[in-house]
Structures are given as C-alpha cells and as structure tokens.
C-alpha cells in the first residue's frame, strides 16, 4: 500500500472520529436524577395530561409506567365508561343507538368531573434520595359514581365478566345493561357533586428521580375521589348506603327502555 493510500485512510478515520466527538458534544447530557424543580414541573405536566379529554390509553400507560386496566381512565376516548364491543359486533346486533347514547351520557359524566376538579401543589418535601410533591385535590365523587355504576351493571346482568369476555351474546347483554346503568345514573349526577368542596391531600414521590407506578396510580385514584371517606368500603355506614342506592337504581332500571 503506497503512502498516498495510507494518508487517505488515516484522514478518513480521523474525520469519522471527529464527527463522533462533535455529535456527542451536541447531545444534551442526561442528568442522573431530576432536581426538585424539575420534579415539580413533571408533576404539573402529568396532572395536566391526566385531566384532559385528549387522554388516551397509550398516554395513560406512559404516565403510569405500566399496563393497567382502563377502569382507571375517567377521561377521553379510552375511558371505562366508553367501553363497547367491536365494530363487527355492534353492526351484527344493531347496537348503534346504544353507542350513541353511551357517548352522550359518558360525556356528561366527564364534564361533571372536569368542572369539579381543582388541585394545587402545596409543598415540596425533599428527603435527599426521595422528593415528594404534596397535592391538594377537590374533585367530583367520580370514584363513588364508578363504584355504583359497576355495582348496578353487574346486578342487572345474568352473565359474569368471564362470559362476557368469551361469549358474543353475553358480551352484548352486558354492554346493553352497562348503557342502561349509565341512563339510570344520569338522573342522579347531582348526587355525586362535591357540594362542600371537600379536599384531600396526596403525595407524589420520586425516588432517585423516578416515580413508582403504584404511587402514580394511587394519585390517579385521588384525582378521581378514591380517598374521600365515602369510598371507605369497610365502613358499615357506607355499605348500607351503597345497598340503598343499588336497590333504588335497580327499581328505576325497570322503567328504562332504550
């Protein structure tokens, strides 16, 4: 190999190394962990993303950090109240009127939730390797509404969840009753208003700059009203109230025609 060829090869290698070094220099250095200020901003962004009708399952999963059932999603096109069969099943069993009514009723619940929701980050608690944001929340009693919705749907339906997942006709029956439950509860949306503006506090904690998925999911529940005293299912008073509501709703369901 002559000197000219060696020089060209060396020059090319040097140029490649220079490009690599410059490219690395242009990339922002990733911090080992988020600062308290960055965590506070991240919490704000996550809350904003969780409390918009633009929310979908992929966004929700990315915020939580793992796959979770959509029963935890209160807003957007993938919310639990919008669960429905496939387009094929809807067409086969002429369910379009149910789909339209479902969307109308789910949107009303969604709006109640958004109109009632207020929150503010009250305090940053820095414990070195763990930084927590204390958030004060006032919300619609959506968690209580969802509890009653699930209870009513299940009690109006002869098939179980497993049957609905594997049997087409059972799925259709379950879906029709879920829309009927929405219709029954539509007359009681005022009953789930947080008229006293009751507040709860919940902490979002980041350890070494990362948030725990269970912690984030718990915060989602707090935004939806799971931490209110009326959601203490172990309370005998709450159990009796739930039974009374269910009995009333089941009676009203007899007069619902779709």
pLDDT tens string 60-87: 999 998 889 999 999 999 999 999 999 9
- pLDDT at position 158: 83
Q: Which backbone phi and psi does 203 adopt, to 5 degrees?
A: -105, 135
Residues 206-246: pLDDT tens digits? Answer: 988 888 888 899 999 999 999 999 999 999 999 999 999 99
Q: Which of 208, 21, 36 is nearest to 134 (CA)?
A: 36
Q: Mean pLDDT throughout 54-64?
A: 95
Mean pLDDT for all residues in the chain: 87
- pLDDT at position 20: 37
Look at residue 137 and tell me whether its pLDDT is greater than 90: yes
Cβ of 149: how many Cβ atoms within 10 Å? Answer: 20
Characterise 79 by phi-psi region: left (phi > 0), alpha (psi -120 to 50), beta (else). beta
**In terms of DSSP H, where are the helices of the chain?**
3-26, 36-50, 57-64, 87-92, 96-116, 142-156, 161-166, 168-186, 213-223, 236-253
Angle at 253 (CA atoms; ends 140, 223), nearest 5 degrees: 15
- pLDDT at position 7: 37
Look at residue 160 and tell me whether its pLDDT is greater than 70: no
Cβ of 193: how many Cβ atoms within 10 Å? Answer: 13
Find tokens 């029954």 and name the residue: 184
- pLDDT at position 36: 81
Residues 168-210: pLDDT tens digits? Answer: 999 999 999 999 999 999 999 999 999 999 999 999 999 888 8
Cα R_g (the chain), whole angstroms? 26
Task: Give the pLDDT band (50/70/90) at residue 30.
Answer: very low
| Alpha carbon distance 218, 136 (integer Å) | 14
Secondary structure of residue 75 in the 3-state scheme: coil
Look at residue 127 and tell me whether its pLDDT is greater than 90: no
Find tokens 């009723």 and name the residue: 105
Do residues 247 and 152 touch, judged by C-beta distance below 8 A? no
- pLDDT at position 161: 65
Do residues 135 and 123 touch, judged by C-beta distance below 8 A? no
């Amino acid at each position: 190999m002559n000197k000219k060829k060696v020089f060209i090869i060396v020059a090319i290698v040097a140029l490649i190394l220079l490009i690599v070094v410059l490219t690395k220099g242009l990339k922002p250095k990733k911090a080992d962990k988020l600062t308290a200020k960055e965590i506070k901003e991240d919490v704000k962004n996550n809350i904003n993303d969780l409390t918009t009708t633009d929310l979908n399952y992929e966004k929700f999963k990315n915020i939580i950090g793992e796959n979770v059932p959509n029963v935890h999603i209160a807003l957007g096109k993938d919310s639990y109240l919008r669960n429905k069969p496939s387009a094929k099943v809807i067409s086969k069993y002429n369910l379009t009127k149910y789909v339209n009514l479902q969307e109308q009723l789910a949107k009303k619940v969604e709006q109640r939730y958004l109109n009632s929701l207020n929150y503010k980050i009250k305090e940053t608690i820095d414990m070195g390797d763990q930084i927590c944001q204390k958030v004060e929340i006032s919300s619609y009693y959506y968690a209580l509404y969802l509890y009653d919705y699930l209870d009513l749907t299940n009690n109006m339906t002869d098939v179980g969840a497993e049957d609905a997942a594997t049997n087409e006709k059972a799925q259709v029956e379950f879906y029709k009753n879920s829309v009927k439950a929405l219709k029954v509860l539509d007359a009681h949306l005022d009953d789930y208003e947080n008229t006293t503006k009751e507040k709860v506090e919940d902490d979002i904690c980041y350890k070494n700059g990362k948030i725990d998925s269970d912690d984030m999911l718990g915060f989602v529940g707090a935004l939806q009203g799971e931490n209110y005293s009326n959601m203490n299912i172990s309370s005998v008073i709450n159990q009796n109230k739930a039974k009374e509501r269910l009995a009333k709703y089941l009676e009203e369901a007899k007069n619902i025609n779709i």
